[in-house]
């Protein structure tokens, strides 16, 4: 996602147009992040699973 944000900054106004590939990639990256959950939630889920295996 950070790379796509950088691309939008480089492209300035054009990057936010609906016709640009950068806009589509940003939209897809954000949708994936929302669908999968935040990084913190994913870490919590993984750490709980690891702890269950050790306890």
Could you report the per-residue pLDDT of 21-46, keeping only the tens digit for each?
666 777 777 666 666 667 777 778 87
In this prediction, residue 50 carries a pLDDT of 83
For residue 30, the SS3 value is helix
36 Cβ neighbours under 8 A, 6+ residues apart: 42
Catalytic annotation present for 53: no
Q: Sorting pLDDT into bands at 50, 70 and 90, what band is 47?
A: confident
Q: Which of 3, 23, 36, 53 is catalytic?
A: 36
51 Cβ neighbours under 8 A, 6+ residues apart: none
pLDDT tens figures, 9-23: 666 654 445 556 666
Query: What is the spatial distance between Cα 23 and Cα 11, in angstroms, rounded to a whole number?
Result: 10
pTM over 0.75: no
Phi, psi of 50 (to 5 degrees): -65, -45
Instruction: Give the other-Cβ count within 10 Å of 53's Cβ.
Output: 7
């Amino acid at each position: 996602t950070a790379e796509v944000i950088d691309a939008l900054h480089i492209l300035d106004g054009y990057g936010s147009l609906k016709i640009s590939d950068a806009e589509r990639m940003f939209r897809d990256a954000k949708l994936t992040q929302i669908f999968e959950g935040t990084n913190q939630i994913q870490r919590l889920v993984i750490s709980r699973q690891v702890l269950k295996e050790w306890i």
